[in-house]
Chain A
Amino acid sequence: MLPSDRQAHEILVGAVGLKKHFPVKGGVLRRTIAQVRAVDGVDLFVRRGETLALVGESGCGKTTLGRLLLRLIPPTSGEVLFNVPANLYASARDRWQRTAEEDGAMRSPKGPQGDGLDPYAITRLRTRAFKPFRRRMQPVFQDPFTSLDPRMLVKDILAEPILINNQMTRPEAMERVAQLLQEVGLRPDHLYRFPHEFSGGQRQRIAIARALAPEPEFLLLDEPTSALDVSVQAQILNLLKDIQRRQGLTYLLITHNLSVVRHMADRVAVMYLGRIVEEAPTRELFESPLHPYTKALLSAVPVPDPKRRREKILLPGDVPSPVDPPTGCRFHTRCNAVMPHCGWSPRDAASATAYLFDSSRNPHASTLPALSEVSMEGNRLRLLFGGSRPSEAQRQVVADLVRGRAAEAGGMAFQAIREVVLEEGSIVLEFPPPLEPAWVEVSPGHSVACYLYPQPQA
């Protein structure tokens, strides 16, 4: 046990700069050819005794983030802090954000030494030293059909966490197990049954009892009701609320069901493509969402009133691949309030240029030589014209074409082009350097990462 554990601090679980990149292996030699950026720089904290909901669509990294917080998988970089004073967490977060801006990806998983975080950072502990923390953070998983060992009796499933952590002798553990079963609304004679003899709701109750068995302080609820019948969902949620009230537990509720969020959570964090985009107290988030993604999410909540029609915000396209997330604001490719400085990059314009500047296809480009190649170089898009060196007049034509396209619908990427320059026998379209929107606290406790809201002065 760490010395800091003698007292209870305000923030029970906090993440700073947390990243998890999964390698994609390919080729004969199984070399790493790409990284799936499942969680890509997350700062998140859960206060002692509250319920924080983490929402976002499938594949945005919610579950991976949860697993990182429980140290079920090691992070690529960043820290998880446990039971940490609020001011220390805030300063760690500031420091991390500053250094992350300075040297982007160059971060060791271990933070700087002597930063005062050693007593709190569970990510810095060795496996053995971390073991006493395990029991204090327990998960409840989505699917109660795979989360219980089918070859174990309920009594053994529930007793295992207690016995592993040497918290009690076996007979004592058995008494506690019977008591736990009653706490989650099952009968003691259910102890001598196998998981397959129960319904989904009952199984989830058993999974909750198992999570409670080692007397944790923090429960990770990873979509605890989405595999259950609607009629059972409410029972399970109320049970969880009940347990929280009685035992003063802290919850992180991962879900994509916003009505569950409204029912359960004190605060909400919205996640998109590996990043937190907005964070607010529940009521405030539902009443005045700030981020366009949050607005779209909220507009998708079904309203149980056929007469009331709301304007639904439909997001175009799919979630971009986390292997190669969009530059700048990750949401800019689907955002309905997008602006030229949201992080457009050559990638967003490249496919259109093949038509726009090709003299054989676009009559307006007839004065240009034949376009032979379009290449992306960072935030520059280079147009090569089959050996012939373009002239200043031709540069002017390209600039006009860019301006014309920018005025059309869907030409936002071209609005972002800052300059059209003549260079080494080719024409280069220059985009602004990609910057991510800063994390801005708009009102107390309500933060958002979006260019719509005033950015701090650089």
Chain B
Amino acid sequence: MGAHVEVRRGIRSASGRAELWRGLRRRLDEYSLTLRLLLKRPLAAAGLLITLLYVGIAIAASFLPDRDVLQTNFTTAYPQPPWWWGNGTPGSWFGTTYPGIDLGMAIFKAIRIDLYYSSIVVLGGAIVGMLVGLVAGYKGGLFDEGLMRSTDVAYSIPFLVFAIAVAYVISRDFTTLNLSLLILWWPPYARLVRSQVLAVKANMFVEAARAAGASDLRIMFRHILPNTLAPVFVQVSLDLGVVIQIFAALIFIGFVPHSGYLPELGALIFYGFGSEPTSYPWTILFPGLALVIFTVGVNLLGDGLRDVLDPRLRR
């Protein structure tokens, strides 16, 4: 008897797995269709390529030992040009920057740091904003009013000023900068998601789910949230570039720690400026280019995603 039951359960769970597996495969097909549509657009494909390249660099850079970057060349205190730059240093592709740091390695490390922290800021903001917008849009009424007015308040704080103020109060370092951005990054997402929720909520499938007995939580997270994600993805990819630019801007105007070395693109430009940029242009040119290319890349990707994820263009 017991053995019989065991066998039955075995068969059932196997067929259950098959059903889940087939469903998952069908979903993956849908994503690969999205990807194919994206790759059909040359600019979007370029954006995706650049983004992936940077992600690859970031991953690779996390395996580089720090000492390679801080390979201080004490023979000369001046930045050395790359080998293809006039009378360059043999073996160095991107030259060195002050104080004797290998620029190529430093940029690789900086991309890792920049991508990592900007992802934290953007994803953190997106998640908090999504929750706020979802609840506000779904519940409506006074709840909505309260949440959205506090969103307005948070939105009205200029984050550059806020970041500087926080730095003044706490300390002038990179962690503080991240923290202050993280605190202020959610309001646009809250608004974006709320507007989407209001639109999706009006669909009859929400009413049908309620009629079937679905709880509010289930309706919010199973039915409404997945239908609001497309513009969030777009916004996230656009914001990655924005946050990196803010990092660079703040650090360039002196947000670096007084002592020590921070492998960050803005910081690298700042170091370059500290060492006579007219005589050693590569010290600001390469980190600057790395920054620009990344920003252009994620923007192209974001624009492409906007087109591809728009259901009106697809179905």
Contact = CB atoms under 8 A, between A and B. Distances in A.
Interface stretch (A42-50, A133-141, A297-305, A331-339): A133-141
A164 B210 CA distance: 11
A142 B207 CA distance: 12
Contacts of B209: 149, 160
A67 B211 CA distance: 9
B205 interface: yes
Nearest to B202: A146
A138 B210 CA distance: 10
14 contacts: A138-B211, A150-B311, A151-B227, A153-B27, A160-B214, A164-B212, A164-B213, A165-B212, A170-B16, A170-B19, A171-B16, A171-B19, A192-B23, A210-B208
A143 interface: yes
B204 interface: yes
Given A146-B205, A194-B26, 8 more contacts: A72-B207, A134-B211, A139-B208, A141-B208, A149-B227, A160-B212, A164-B218, A169-B12
Contact of B213 (A135, A141, A147, A174): A135
Contact of A214 (B23, B204, B212, B223): B212
A79 to B, nearest CB: 19
A162 B141 CA distance: 31
A174 B16 CA distance: 8
Contact of B15 (A152, A161, A165, A171): A171
A137 B15 contact: no
Question: B-side binding surface: helix, strand, loop or mixed?
Answer: helix
Contacts of A139: 207-208, 211
Question: Interface size for chain B: under 10, 10 to 19, 20 to 34, or 35 or more residues?
Answer: 20 to 34
Nearest to B17: A171
A156 interface: yes
3 smallest beta-carbon distances between A and B, as pairs: A161-B212, A134-B213, A147-B204
B23 A134 contact: no
A95 interface: no
Interface of B: 12-13, 15-16, 19, 22-23, 26-27, 30, 203-205, 207-214, 218, 222-223, 226-227, 311, 315
B227 to A, nearest CB: 6
Given A149-B223, A149-B227, A155 B23 contact: yes
Contacts of A70: 211
Nearest to B11: A171
Given A165-B213, A174-B19, A193-B26, A147 B208 contact: yes
A207 B23 contact: no
B213 A207 contact: no
A303 B13 CA distance: 58
Contact of A151 (B15, B211, B226): B226
B309 to A, nearest CB: 12
Contacts of B205: 146-149
A115 B209 CA distance: 33
A196 interface: yes
Interface residues of A, number: 39
A171 B203 CA distance: 29
A170 B13 CA distance: 9
Nearest to A138: B211
Nearest to A196: B315
A134 B204 CA distance: 16
B21 to A, nearest CB: 11
A377 B23 CA distance: 67
Interface in A110-153: 131, 134-135, 137-139, 141-143, 146-153
Nearest to A174: B19
Nearest to A169: B12
A321 B121 CA distance: 51
A135 B227 contact: no
Contacts of A131: 213
Contacts of A152: 223
Interface in A161-205: 161, 164-165, 169-171, 174, 192-194, 196
Nearest to B216: A127
Interface in A195-250: 196, 207, 210-211, 213-214
Contacts of B227: 149-151
Nearest to B212: A161
A194 B212 contact: no
B305 to A, nearest CB: 16
A137 B19 contact: no
Contact of B210 (A72, A143, A151, A171): A72
A135 B19 contact: no
Contact of B26 (A138, A150, A192, A213): A192
Nearest to B218: A164
Nearest to B13: A171
A409 B207 CA distance: 49
Nearest to B26: A192
Interface in A417-442: none
B26 A153 contact: yes
Interface in A56-89: 67, 70, 72
A183 to B, nearest CB: 18
A192 B22 contact: yes
Contacts of A137: 211
B30 A138 contact: no
Nearest to B19: A174
Contacts of B30: 194
